[in-house]
Chains A and B, each alone.
Chain A
Amino acid sequence: MFGTILTLALRSIARHKLRSFLTILGIIIGVAAVVTMVTLGRATTLQVQKNIAALGTNILQVRPGQGFGRGGGGPRPPDFKPEDVTAIADQVAGVTAVAPQASATVTAVYEGANWSTTVNGTTDAIFQVQPWPLLDGRRWTPAEEQAGKAVCIIGGTVVKNLFPGIDPVGKRFRVGSISCDVIGTLTTRGQAGFGGDQDDTVVMPIKAVQRRFTGNRDIRLMLVGVDQRFSTDAVQSSITDLLRERRSITGGKEDDFNIFDTKQISDTFSSTTVLLTRIVTAVAAISLVVGGIGIMNIMLVSVTERTREIGIRLAIGAVAREVLMQFLVEAVALSCLGGLIGLVIAQLAVGALSALGGLPFLFVPGINILAFAISAIIGVVFGYFPARRAAALNPIDALRHE
């Protein structure tokens, strides 16, 4: 008997393609929206966590100024000096290494190819602080670092744009006004969730950058590696005390520098994306319910419109239960179909938006199953009322219906 009713329901859907499509449009949009939003939210969270992990865990970033969104007004706080780097490395317990950083935006040129990039001057300590292995070549020697020689290690984006299909190690190219020997290449780290492309960089001994590009001994950023056995909070407060002392900040005066714990950033970003995902999903879920009401609406109209048809079916011997089941199965089949189409659209949307936002393509089975199940349940719930109404019709009146 169920096969019969399924046949009847599917025939009826196939006969009214436009009406069927309009009926399920709400479900399609609702399912597609929910699945897309949840998947993209999940992908964003994962990507942010991965990027932050790539920056390295147990790293404190020390910058002059009062951090995001604070300070402003007054003279700019002074940058750090190489002595600050040495002081932190020598005096604070739990610090494994301190890498200073000085950067400049430059144009790099190799055999007619131009590329605007950032030159980052640092010391060999950066390789202890950050887990950033070389893809090829070598690090600079202590002698080269000391002398501030123009040797550099370049990131994947620079390789791609200046040395397409060429092994850059051993080549000499122009960085700004100087020429520089490529001694190594970095492994690719990918897009950062914030702060742009981490592979678009030319890494050079800090002395070379200070002498040739910035023209001073200033350090804009220190990356402090923290020993696993020490708490980053404790190390952070030790550094704060040391820097306040060195920068002569006393009493209740606020720090004129800030220290960021990457783990803290990671947590903040994760909880923000999770919250945003929930809100957007809730909005999408409302559209799914609206889609369900759309199904009920069209099915109710359909019962009125098809009164005569129902009369014919009853007259030729359909029992009330069969008419009820036919309408119910029609509603469920429609909403399941809508759910399936919505899932397909969601995968396409996730694919397109992921590519656009530089996110990895993600398929989350849970939300797909859930969204499909909800669309089926919507079919049952919102299809039952119209179906019961159809089944309760009196065949004589139904046949007389114009």
Chain B
Amino acid sequence: MAVVSGGAGRAVASNPAAPPADAAPLIRLRDVIKTYGSGATQFQALKGVDLDIDGGDFVAVMGPSGSGKSTTMNILGCLDVPSGGEFLFRGFPVQTLDRDQRALLRRKYLGFVFQGFNLLSRTSALENVELPLLYRGDEKKARRDLSMAALEKVGLDRWWDHTPAELSGGQQQRVAIARAIVTQPDVLLADEPTGNLDSERSVEIMELLTDLNRTSNITVLMVTHEPDMAAFARTVVHFKDGLVERIERNHRPGVVPEND
């Protein structure tokens, strides 16, 4: 079912909902290099990654450990900066921003979902979801309304006053997703969101992400090891040895490929 769209190097993923092909993509990486350490212990995690991601796409990032996918995700999440090359977000060169400016960019445009959920313990679902709004400076009423709306979207509005310890893993991940989307970000970055969940919960989470991608037009970038989960994405980017190896387009996302 998957279509191989060409070898390594420059690749453009597109979908019908995205703007015309000649418009700048939402995210553009050009010859991105990331080097850790120096001298003899120097290690090049990214060796010149080129990648374009259109707004509204659902992208799965796959690859073995050490292939550079996590480093790429950190750079795309503005948590890390490239050692070389260019990262354009909405046409803006992110590598020129300082630490606090990148924090503000994350606050406004990005939402994060982690493998380990990373909710604040002893804190109700509502207060967890509220957190990004607190940093954004929303008033109490607005915070509450937006947070309840986000919890409703993930189907947990009745659980708003429960702490993470009182919620199942799947529910915790839903709270984390509510927290990520409460600010209505452009991009949702999910780092192995189903890594800690059983297959049934995993499918539920993937369906939720797919739904958010379609109805709220949020661009989803997801790292995963599991082909079953990657099958929910419209675009699958494979990393190998610090480079993009290939990009697949999936015309029937949500259907598990029979054989790979």
Contacts and interface: CB of A to CB of B under 8 A. Distances in A.
Interface of A: 1, 4, 7-8, 11, 15-16, 308-309, 311-322, 395-396, 399
Contacts of B80: 396
Interface string B80-112: 100000000000000000011001101110111
Interface in B103-143: 103-104, 106-108, 110-112, 114, 118-120, 122-123, 127, 131-132, 134-137
B185 to A, nearest CB: 10
Nearest to B118: A312
Contacts of B134: 4, 7-8
A195 to B, nearest CB: 60
Given A316-B179, A317-B106, A396-B80, A309 B120 contact: yes
Contacts of A16: 122
B106 A4 contact: no
B114 A399 contact: yes
B97 to A, nearest CB: 12
A395 B106 CA distance: 12
Contacts of A315: 77, 79, 106, 112, 118
Interface of B: 74, 77, 79-80, 99-100, 103-104, 106-108, 110-112, 114, 118-120, 122-123, 127, 131-132, 134-137, 179-180
Contacts of B103: 314, 317-320
B137 to A, nearest CB: 6
A320 to B, nearest CB: 6
Given A11-B127, A395-B79, A396-B80, A318 B118 contact: no
Contacts of A312: 118-120, 131
A317 B100 contact: no
B118 A4 contact: no
A318 B135 contact: yes
A15 B122 contact: yes
A4 B179 CA distance: 17
A15 B123 contact: yes
A304 to B, nearest CB: 15
Nearest to B128: A312
Contacts of A321: 100
Contact of A317 (B74, B107, B127): B107
A109 B72 CA distance: 100
A319 B118 contact: no
Contacts of B99: 319-320
Given A15-B123, A396-B74, A399-B118, A313 B131 contact: yes
A317 B189 CA distance: 13
Q: Which of B103, B106, B112 has the most CB of A within 10 A?
A: B103
Contact of B135 (A308, A317, A399): A317
Contact of B106 (A15, A309, A316, A396): A316
Contact of B104 (A4, A308, A317, A395): A317
A136 B20 CA distance: 109
Contact of A319 (B104, B123, B131, B179): B104
A1 B136 contact: no
B132 A316 contact: yes
B135 A316 contact: yes
Given A1-B137, A321-B100, A316 B122 contact: no
Nearest to A5: B134
A-B residue pairs, 9 tightest by C-beta: A317-B107, A319-B100, A319-B103, A317-B106, A15-B122, A316-B132, A312-B118, A315-B112, A4-B134
B121 to A, nearest CB: 8
B83 to A, nearest CB: 15
Contacts of A7: 134
Given A312-B120, A396-B74, A317 B136 contact: yes
Nearest to B99: A320
Nearest to A321: B100
Given A4-B135, A4-B137, A308 B118 contact: yes
Contacts of B106: 315-317
B135 A320 contact: no
Nearest to B176: A312
14 contacts: A4-B137, A7-B134, A11-B123, A312-B118, A312-B131, A313-B131, A315-B79, A316-B131, A317-B103, A317-B106, A318-B103, A319-B99, A320-B99, A322-B135
Given A319-B104, A399-B114, 18 more contacts: A1-B137, A4-B137, A11-B127, A16-B122, A308-B118, A309-B120, A312-B118, A312-B119, A312-B120, A313-B135, A316-B111, A316-B135, A317-B106, A317-B110, A318-B107, A321-B100, A396-B74, A399-B118
B78 to A, nearest CB: 10
Contacts of B131: 312-313, 316
Contact of A320 (B74, B77, B100, B136): B100
A317 B132 contact: yes
Contacts of A316: 106-107, 111-112, 131-132, 135, 179-180
A319 B102 CA distance: 9
A212 to B, nearest CB: 80
Contacts of B112: 315-316
A320 B132 CA distance: 15
A197 to B, nearest CB: 58
A314 B100 CA distance: 10
A316 B134 CA distance: 11
Contacts of A313: 131, 135
A319 to B, nearest CB: 4
B79 A317 contact: no
